[in-house]
Each structure stands twice: as structure tokens, then as C-alpha cells.
Chains A and B, each alone.
Chain A
Amino acid sequence: MFIDFFYKLRDVGLPASPTAFLTLHRALSLGLVSSLEDFYTASRSILVKSERYFDLFDQVFAHHFQGADMPDVKGIELDELARSMLEFWLNKPGELSRLLGMDEKALKKLTPEQLLEYFKERLKEQTEAHHGGGKWIGTGGYSPVGHSGYHPGGMRVGGVSGNKSAVKVALERRYKDYSQDGPLTQALVGEALKRLRHMAPAGPKDRLNVEKTIYQTTKNAGEIELVFDRDLKDKLKVILAIDNGGWSMDPYIPVVQTVFDYARAQFKDLKTFFFHNTIYDTLWGDPARYRKAQRISEFARLDPETRLVVVGDASMAPYELLATDGSIYAEERSGRPSIECLMFLAQTFPRSVWLNPKPSDVWDYTRTISAIRQIFPMFELTIDGLEQAVGHLMKK
């Protein structure tokens, strides 16, 4: 019974265990489930063990019992992309239609919903060309008008079910905001901070002083006496370098800064610098990248234990990274290609990570991302990515 349903859940990556499935059957055989609503709550509380999968569960449930669209794991990103295209279209209709090779007038006749669908179609063609035919079914149903932006502000409210049918409840997708696949948003600041709190030196562990122990033990005529030293550990120093040039990074800068600022108290020192696309000889202390220049060669004097966190999409024209004098700014001419500067940084600070707001499955399509990944360990700018990055920074 419901074996299909169970495997569908597993297919979309929801970690439901066979034991839990058997428990569900026990619930069924005890006669506890008499309606679809009961089945919905029972199966969810038994099979799904984390709220981050609630949304996925809702979608599969709606699909299985009502034939709603099957969730596509890649769908979310495409959605976001389509919406940012719509945003772009609203600002500069002419340019986008030219880029798409479409008649502006033909596009103008469409309603926002139709436009969104159209953009999705176009994006789908593109991803298919790249991925070689990944299946895509739209999740659909977003009204772009009258909403504040791509990221609905704050966690949406939900949770009271009243007397609606289970499928309807599932279709509402009340737990959309709890699934943590998307890039970091203001709503997830609290979650992100929890991950960052792990970025603290391991507690004062007492360390065995072997030499003194041997000395004391022999002095004691063989009666073992252990001598411990207090393991002194300092709080971390962190350098945060943010790519704040170009609109692709705009939504993420305030989030990243908020998160690190909040965590400031747990660091000994937090320095924030800015750059555009990639790092040349200088980083900038001011967001305008004009007044406070900081030559990276001076970083050599800093504590090599400092953790360096670079945030950027690492996407640019290859020459910007590889050519000498590749910078798009005329005043940044040093004769050193940026990639050497990055290598210098990675060598100066062996504990460093690069956080990229782009989803990891598109990293391979950008040459500069691949090149930078050779130098810095790269993680997604998501809750999970942040967790992994912190894990990497704290590795012994």
C-alpha cells in the first residue's frame, strides 16, 4: 500500500526510511487513519523528520493524490531566474526583447503570468541545451505583480489548517519558506547565524604535556602522574571580501554583511573589504571602492591563521582573471594577473573559502568559476553551503 508514494518521496530526495514506512503501516492497521487528512498528517509526521522537507512532501503529496505537478528539484532556481528576467523586462523592455531576439510589441501583449511562463520556456530550452534534456515542469502560479521582489520579505505565515481538504492544504505549500535550498535571504539570517556560531575555536581542551609527565612520573618512582597544560586558543580573526560590483551580486551583499556583523562579537577581529569581479593588487575598505585602498601584499604581515571568506559569483570574462592588466578599471594596472593575486591570498591564508551565490550545478559552465575553484574551496551561498564552509574553515 502506498509503495508508489513512498518511492516517489525517496525519488525527490526526501530521506524517508523503510522503518518509518512500516510505522506508517502500523498506524494504518491500528485504524488511526480514516480520511485523507489523517493520512496526510500521519504520513508527514512519521515519514518526514525535518521541516525543511515539508514543502517537498506537500508537493509530492499533492502530485500523488491529485495529480498536481511533480516537483522538479531544479525548478526553484529556474523560477528565480525567470522572475529576475521579468524584473529586467519591466525596467528595460527594449533591451531584453532584443537579447531574446523577439519583437518587443509581441511581448508587451502578454500578461505578467504569460510572460513569466514564456521566460521559463526560454530558460528551459537553454538548460536543456546545456544539461541534455533535464525534465522540467513548472511549479507555476506566482503573481509577479504587487509583490515586493524576488524574495518575499520574511518568513511567510502559515500553519492553521482549519477544515480544508488535505490536498488543498498540501497544495498551499505553507512550508515553502522552510525549505532551505534557495540562496541566502534576509528571512534566513537567523538560520545562517546558527551555522556561523560554530565558527568558534574549540573550547579550552586540556592537553597532555608528555615531557613533564615523564619527568614527574620518573620522579614519583614510576607512579604515573599526568601533567596537563591549558591549551590556549584565541578567538578567530576574519577577513570578509565581498564582490559588490554588478547587479548580480546586489541581493546578497546586505545579507552577508548582516550575518557577519551579527557574529562580530564572537570574532576577535572582522575586516570587511570590497572588490569588483575579482581581486587585483588592492581591496577596498569602502563599498564605493574609491577611498580606502588596502594593498593585498600587506596582508602577508597578518596572522596566517586569519580566516578569509570571499563572497562573489566568480563570473567574469576570462581575461579579467587571467591576463596581466586584466582589470576593467584603467587605474588598476599592476602587471600581475588577478589569478596570481588570488593564489597569493590563498597561500597567505591557508584557511580560506569562496562563497558563491550561484547554484553549484551551473559552476562548470563558467570558465572563471572553474579556475577560481582550483585556488579556493568554493561553497554555495546557502544555509547548507555556509555550514560546509564553516566546517572547512574550522577543520584541524
Chain B
Amino acid sequence: MTPNTETNRFTGASRYVLDDELARIVNISMALEMPLLLKGEPGTGKTMLAHAIAEALGMPLIVLNVKSSMKLVEALYQYDTLTRLNDSRFGDSKRDVSRIEDYIRMGKIGQAFTAETRTVLLIDEIDKADTDFQDDMLDVLDQMEFDIIEIDKTVRALNRPVIVITSNAKKDLSDPFLGRCNFHHIAFPDADMMRRIVRVHFPALDKDLLENTIAAFYRMRQIDGIEKRPATRELINWIRALKADSDCRPQQIGKGEPPYLGVLFKKSQDYQRAREAAARRRL
């Protein structure tokens, strides 16, 4: 299957600021039909990218949120024994109790495979699951088919979904897994890019507020020994908080302790350190 690269080219979406490099990587991954593995600091828009691709290409988005205890079969399909038992006892449904197929429900991967149109499949935070899950899943995604054991049926993908996988690097991913993906690391945006990102979210933002918050934000990212640095998501929430506060004067943000530090620093030790750093600068 050769995808029509002309019509299926990803160029960005309304709420997502895309840099050229990432756009090229997304397009190459789609053409090669390989899953794209995204890494990067939390809050740099890994998950948002999948939403943006879905929006831009007009495909439905299916999200599989990986959990640590997850089994692969849950992501593929579920055999709803409870409903079947219920039906067999009361018999008031339209389902045929003797047909097991009526009680098979598709999981997220199954839904992406059986969908009528091409879909975007986002597998979020793959690193939470154990290695077996990851390897088995890639087998399924490689072959684009899986078996439903209960009814001895093979589900084959009608359309090969565009697969985006994100990882927060909590655990290292296995080599065979990495071998089957394309890889990109979303670097933290610089100040110019950040201005564009903020503009997309707040088109009518006061210029003073924008400049002051961004300057203060990057200064705070530089504080030594922070475990979880504030990222784009935190900045946007922070601006939202500042906008809601009618007492807030943009010129004051850079001086003294910035308001609503808790929006930016979410670990108590980080919060403490940020406060100390802010206090020291004032002296």
C-alpha cells in the first residue's frame, strides 16, 4: 500500500504549533508505515501532536492510555462474559447467547483495526507497561492482525492506522521495540517558539503580560536542582491563572516572588527551592 503522500501530508493544526523538523518526521513515519515513538519532557506536547495529526488529516483519533497492570489482550478485545451470563439468565436482550461473537468487544487497538476509515492511534505513555506488553504489542502492530481465541477468528486491519507512541522514559524501552519505531525527541521550545505557542492559545493576550511571563518562566526553569521543571503546559496554566487575577500587574511578575508558584512547581521540594531562589534574587 503506497499512501498518497500529497493528500496525506501533515502540516500543522489550529491549536498546535509545529516545527518543520517534526512535520518531516511525522510524514516520513506515515509513509514508511512505522509507528512514531515520541519522547520528551512532560508537557512538551507529545500527546497533543497526535490530536493535531488527527485534526489536520481529518481522521478519527483513538487513544490507548497504557496502565502499568495492563495486559495486551485488554487493548485488543474483551470477551464480556458477565453480559452473556446475564443474557442467558434473563434472556431479554436481542443478542444471541449461543453466539460468543456477540459478546466480543473491541479494545482500542481492535477499534483502530476495524474502523471503516484510517485512524490515528495514540498509545500514550507506553513506558508504564512492562516489557512483554511492549514487545507483544509491536508484534500485533507489525502484522496488523490478531486472533480472538474464544471464537478462533483473526482480525485484520482494514486500514493501517497512523500510530503515535509516547514515552516519558520512566523505564527504558527494549531494543526490539525501538528497532520497529521511528524515534523523535521533542526538545523544549525556545522563547520565540514559546511566544508562538502562547499566541495560539491566547490570541488576545496583553503584550506586557506575555513578555514578562515568558522571561520569568525561562528564568525559573534555570533554577538549580529542580526535579520537575515547569513545561509548556504549566506556563499556559500559569498565564490562565494570571489572566483570571484582576490584581495582577505584568510589570511585577519579574520582581519578588512570582504569584501562583504552585501552578508551575508541583513537587514540594521544587516549590520550596523556587521560593528560596525568588527570595534571593530580591535581596
> Which A positions have Cβ atoms within 8 angstroms of B?
17, 19-20, 23, 26-27, 30, 32, 37-38, 41-42, 45-46, 48-51, 54, 153-155, 157-163, 169, 174-175, 178, 186, 189-190, 193-194, 254-255, 258, 261-262
CB-contact partner of A160 in B24, B39, B184, B192, under 8 A: B192
| Chain B, Cβ-Cβ closest to A42 | B28
Contacts of A51 in B (CB 8 A): 39, 185
Q: A163-B20, A258-B225, A262-B227 are contacts. A178–B185 as well, Cβ < 8 Å?
A: yes
Report yes or no: B28 in contact with A159, Cβ–Cβ below 8 A.
no
B179 located at the interface, meaning its Cβ lies under 8 Å from any Cβ of chain A in the complex: yes
The answer for the CA separation of A261 and B186 in the assembled complex, in Å, is 29
Q: Is the CB of B189 within 8 A of A262?
A: no
Contacts of A154 in B (CB 8 A): 221-224, 229
Contact of B32 among A23, A159, A254 (CB under 8 A): A23
Pairs across A and B, CB under 8 Å, 18 listed: A20-B179, A23-B34, A27-B32, A32-B32, A41-B25, A46-B182, A49-B179, A50-B183, A157-B188, A159-B186, A160-B190, A160-B193, A161-B21, A174-B187, A189-B226, A190-B228, A255-B225, A262-B227
Q: Does B269 contact A (CB under 8 A)?
A: yes
When distances are taken between beta carbons in the complex, the residues of chain A under 8 Å from B191 are 157
The answer on a CB contact under 8 Å between B19 and A159 is yes
**Inter-subunit contact A37/B24 (CB<8 Å):** yes
A23 to B183, CA, bound (A): 13
- Give the contacting residue for A162; candidates B20, B182, B184; CB below 8 A: B20
B198 contacts the other chain (Cβ, under 8 Å)?
Answer: no
In the complex, residue of chain B having the shortest beta-carbon distance to the beta carbon of A193: B227
Residues of chain B at the chain A interface (Cβ within 8 Å): 2, 5, 19-21, 24-25, 27-29, 31-32, 34, 36-37, 39, 169-170, 178-179, 181-193, 218, 221-229, 269
A158–B218 Cα distance when bound, in Å, is 13
Contact indicator A189/B225 (Cβ below 8 Å): yes
A residues within 8 A CB of B29?
A: 45
Nearest CB in chain B: distance from A55 CB, A: 11
Q: Are B34's CB and A157's CB within 8 A?
A: no
Q: How far is the CA of A50 from the CA of B19 in the complex (A)?
A: 20
Chain B residues in 8 Å Cβ range of A38: 24, 28
User: 3 smallest A-B Cβ distances: which pairs?
Assistant: A159-B187, A51-B185, A49-B178
A41 near B28 with CB under 8 A, answer: yes
Contact B185 A19 (CB under 8 A): no
Q: Are B31 and A186 in contact (CB under 8 A)?
A: no
Q: Determine if A32 and B28 form an interchain contact, defined as CB atoms under 8 angstroms apart.
A: yes
Give Cα distance in the complex from A159 to B22, angstroms: 10
CA distance A160 to B23 in the complex (A): 12
A262 touches B5 (CB 8 A): no
Say yes or no: A45 contacts B225, CB within 8 Å: no
**Chain B residue contacts of A46, Cβ below 8 A:** 28, 32, 182-183
In the complex, what residue of chain B is closest to A38 when comparing beta carbons? B24
Chain A residues closer than 8 Å to B223, beta-carbon distance: 154
- Measured CB to CB, the closest approach of chain B to A183, in angstroms, equals 15
A161 partner residues in chain B, CB cutoff 8 A: 19-21
Q: Are A262 and B170 in contact (CB under 8 A)?
A: no
B268, closest chain A residue (CB): A265
A199 to chain B, nearest CB (A): 15
Chain B residues, Cβ within 8 Å of A163: 20
Residues of A within 8 A of B226 (CB): 189-190
| Residue among B178, B187, B222, B229 having the largest count of chain A Cβ atoms under 10 Å | B187
Known A154-B222, A159-B188, A162-B20; further 8 A-B contacts with Cβ < 8 A: A27-B31, A50-B183, A51-B39, A51-B185, A160-B189, A161-B21, A193-B227, A262-B269
Which residue of the partner chain, among B170, B192, B224, contacts A186 with CB atoms under 8 Å? B224
Q: Which residue of B lies closest to A192 (CB)?
A: B227
Is B190 within 8 A of A159, CB to CB?
A: yes
Q: Which of A20, A160, A161 has the most CB of B within 10 A?
A: A160
Report the nearest B residue to A46, measured CB to CB: B182
* Candidate in A17, A51, A186 with the most chain B CB atoms within 10 angstroms: A51
